[in-house]
Structure 1
Amino acid sequence: MKIAFDGKRFFNNSSGLGNYSRDLVRVLATHFPAHEYLLLNKSKTAKGESILSLTNVDFIPTSKGNLSRQLKMGKDAQNEDADVFHGLSGELPLKWNPKPIRKVVTIHDLIFLKFPKYYSFFDRKIHLWKFRQAAKQADRIIAISEQTKRDIIHYLKVPEHKINVVYQGCHAAFKSKKTDEERSVVKLKYSLPERFILNVGTIEERKNLLNVVKAITDSEIPLVVVGKKTKYIGRVQKYLIKNKMQQRVHFFEGVSMDELAAIYQLADIFVYPSVYEGFGIPVIEALFSGTAVITSNRTSLPEAGGPDSLYVDPYNVADLKAKVLFLWENKSERDRRTEKGLRYVTKFEDEKVAADLMGVYESLFNTQE
């Protein structure tokens, strides 16, 4: 089978959709090496070089011209004799030639519909149009969680039989235990506290960092935050200054995957009270890292966290505070939960993700639909 991918996110995005795209191609190419995988984009970048070095993965430059991704990429895949085209970020090309090709699209979330205040009117309209077009064209839709599947059915009016849930994995860096020396190097480089709680992700309103800060206000617990800043950081910093907490909350950006894995392993607790996630990859990263997790009891996060993470109402600071203090003060409870979390997270191992993805592709040729 020859499978073509929209490579825009693979080559251009450093995190989020970029990581999803690179991990997806990597696990497929590694665990199903008999197939051929094509990455289509205007140009290639240094991102994903190790994946492109695999003998069954090839870069295909798309035809030049305006709107080539929308109007030419699909035909380019057909001209390469691809059996399947997979749009990795909620979009599919708009134009195709008569040559048969199966179409798959991954939809990660519909946040712009559930929380419209985070998006401009124009962005909401564009996103909705693109997602509706992709859902209509696709032979199969991949949802990254049961929550996203429910949202697709509700908001896009897609029949359930057309949707497969395939969970994400995470970068291999989080699946290996760092040595004491490796952790010490990272701890020294970033001047990390002896003990701390950790939050990872873009610093934006939906991720709810301000409530994490509020939850530790009357304690001495240090907080390490790793993520890209947005204007929301201004609200957080204003609160830190008002409560004289600047020395206790540490912000970092541009951290490598290996360094981030070491930071997860150094942390006592990972705290992630996001109000909405399509899946919640940082929760999986924490579980693979052997770090106790506190996250929201909403949307897809219980799917990611499993039965032994602690769950909170993301809007209830008192609830969050109580659970942070409970785990902070109870090492045996942290250890118990991390041990069970490591067993739970095996469902997101590469082999399982690859098999589920390949199952979706193969189903397209085993049906009379």
Structure 2
Amino acid sequence: MLIGIDARYGLRKSRRGIGNYIYHLLCEFRRMRPPRCEFILYADDTADPEVVAEFQQDSFTIRVLSALNLAWWEQVALPLAVRRDGVDLLHCTSNIAPVLFKPCRLITTIHDVIEFRRQEFGDTKLAFRHRLSRTYRMGVLPRVAKLSDRIVTVSEYSRQDIAAVLKVKEEKIVVVYEAPTLQPSSDPLKDGELLKRLGIEGDYVFAFGALDRRKNTAGLIDAYKILRNQMGISIPLVIAGIERPEVFQPLASKGIYLLGFQPDEVISALYRRAIFFVYPSLYEGFGLPVLEAMASGTPVLCSATTAVGEITGEAALKCDPADISDIAAKMRTLLEDAILRKQLVERGYRQVEEFSWRRCAQESLQIYREVLGG
């Protein structure tokens, strides 16, 4: 099989979300060296030479394609290169694929359809560039779903949501779970030094935040105020990963640390040293942070809804993310019940073993073979 992969976001030096998914999938393909398979990785001008060098070997060819803009790369440069290279199957990994013409058999990974759900959460105040990209992707995605021979997604929840939003039969959509990408910290002394530089010492509860309302950062802050002011519990709350922490400063109270983006080693330390990790998101197509927390040996409190409730199984304490009183009550439960925290840590270790990049790669290869007729 000659397999083409849209590898743009995975071949960059700085990667998040989709980029990590692509990078780790490619790493497993490289380790597995599947027989009778050759790969052409298509990248754009943002590809990092050092990352590209990792994959330049016998079974991998890398094509760096230049284009006027993102849409031209996806709709013209990519399919023309795929047809020229004689690719048997193209795997588009990033919620988008060529629709002007289909150069070969096509598999598309659609991670979620959040762009169609933003209005439900009030996430409509977007930068002009984001609005332009959103309009393009929302316009193209139903056609992508129709043209794809198979759609890959990352949870059963996303499978059902994609089918409902894009009007696709669920039988066409296959779930392939992702896995944690962050390496758990193993140096307690270094962890302490890293957090001390941020002014964090002693016990705390850890969370991620974002400007998107679906991440429910304001709801978590309100729940913490109930915990502190009405229940008399003063354990600090550390919220990291916020694009602009100052936006939430007027909402914050004493005991809340608002942090921007942090290096992986700091995030790993924050997971490991927290009493527990809380993730009351209103919408997730997967929810990788809850698995990262489990892999770090940290108890998890998370939403009972969407994909988060699905992937955590019985290994997390769950709350109604739309009910701040319930979030506060469950936070109190975890803070006061050391036995429950220990049980969740043990269940978390077992749960996270179900998710691996090797399994992700093996299941992806099986889909390739099925689409190409075995």
Which TM class, normalised by the smaller chain length? Answer: 0.7 to 0.9
Shift of 1:302: 1.1
> After the TM superposition, which residues 200-349 of structure 1 pair with which residues of structure 2 at under 5 Å, given as runs?
200-217=208-225, 218=228, 219-230=233-244, 234=247, 236-240=248-252, 243=253, 245=254, 248-349=255-356
| Residue 49 of structure 1 pairs with residue 61 of structure 2 | no
Q: Secondary structure at the match of 1:40?
A: strand
Other-structure match for 1:88: 93
Other-structure match for 2:42: 40
- Letter of the 1:239 partner, please give it: L
| Residue 200 of structure 2, aligned match among 192, 195, 200 | 192
Other-structure match for 2:21: 20
Other-structure match for 1:61: 64
Other-structure match for 1:6: 6
When structure 1 is superposed on structure 2, of 254-263 and 219-228 the one drifting more is: 254-263
Other-structure match for 2:180: 170
- When normalised by structure 2's length, the TM-score is 0.87
Shift of 1:254: 3.7
Q: Secondary structure at the match of 1:215?
A: helix
- In structure 2, relative to structure 1, the CA distance for the partners of 1:250 and 1:32 (3 Å cut) is farther
- In structure 2, relative to structure 1, the CA distance for the partners of 1:267 and 1:208 (3 Å cut) is same
Indicate the RMSD between aligned Cα atoms, in angstroms.
2.5
- Letter of the 1:140 partner, please give it: R
- Letter of the 1:285 partner, please give it: E
| Residue 138 of structure 2, aligned match among 118, 121, 128 | 128
- In structure 2, relative to structure 1, the CA distance for the partners of 1:48 and 1:144 (3 Å cut) is farther
Shift of 1:48: 7.2
Q: Secondary structure at the match of 1:282?
A: helix
Shift of 1:198: 0.8
Shift of 1:300: 0.9
Q: Is the 8 A contact 1:203 1:227 kept in 2?
A: no
Q: Is the 8 A contact 2:8 2:46 kept in 1?
A: no
- Letter of the 2:213 partner, please give it: E
- Letter of the 1:166 partner, please give it: V
Q: Is the 8 A contact 2:158 2:285 kept in 1?
A: yes
State the distance in 2 between where 1:3 and 1:201 align: 38
- In structure 2, relative to structure 1, the CA distance for the partners of 1:58 and 1:288 (3 Å cut) is farther
Shift of 1:31: 3.0
| Residue 146 of structure 1, aligned match among 146, 156, 163 | 156
- In structure 2, relative to structure 1, the CA distance for the partners of 1:343 and 1:97 (3 Å cut) is closer
Other-structure match for 2:115: 112
- In structure 2, relative to structure 1, the CA distance for the partners of 1:181 and 1:37 (3 Å cut) is farther
Provide, for residues 236-263 of structure 1, a one-character-per-residue CA deviation record: whole Å limited to 9, x for no partner: 31122xx4x2xx2223334222332222
Provide, for residues 121-149 of structure 1, a one-character-per-residue CA deviation record: whole Å limited to 9, x for no partner: 76654332221121111111001111111
State the distance in 1 between where 2:208 and 2:56 align: 31
Q: Secondary structure at the match of 2:195?
A: helix
- In structure 2, relative to structure 1, the CA distance for the partners of 1:329 and 1:58 (3 Å cut) is farther
> After the TM superposition, which residues 342-357 of structure 1 pair with which residues of structure 2 at under 5 Å, given as runs?
342-357=349-364
Shift of 1:51: 7.3
State the distance in 1 between where 2:191 and 2:38 align: 38
- In structure 2, relative to structure 1, the CA distance for the partners of 1:256 and 1:310 (3 Å cut) is same
Shift of 1:214: 1.9
Shift of 1:47: 8.4
Provide, for residues 152-175 of structure 1, a one-character-per-residue CA deviation record: whole Å limited to 9, x for no partner: 11111112221101111121514x
Q: Secondary structure at the match of 2:306?
A: coil
Provide, for residues 347-366 of structure 1, a one-character-per-residue CA deviation record: whole Å limited to 9, x for no partner: 11122212111111111122
Q: Secondary structure at the match of 1:347?
A: coil
- In structure 2, relative to structure 1, the CA distance for the partners of 1:4 and 1:327 (3 Å cut) is same
- In structure 2, relative to structure 1, the CA distance for the partners of 1:314 and 1:107 (3 Å cut) is same
- In structure 2, relative to structure 1, the CA distance for the partners of 1:295 and 1:123 (3 Å cut) is same
Q: Is the 8 A contact 1:52 1:58 kept in 2?
A: no
Q: Secondary structure at the match of 2:151?
A: strand
State the distance in 2 between where 1:332 and 1:205 align: 33
- In structure 2, relative to structure 1, the CA distance for the partners of 1:32 and 1:169 (3 Å cut) is farther
Q: Secondary structure at the match of 1:300?
A: helix
State the distance in 1 between where 2:214 and 2:315 align: 24
- When normalised by structure 1's length, the TM-score is 0.88
Identity of counterpart residues, as a percentage? 27
State the distance in 2 between where 1:189 and 1:262 align: 12
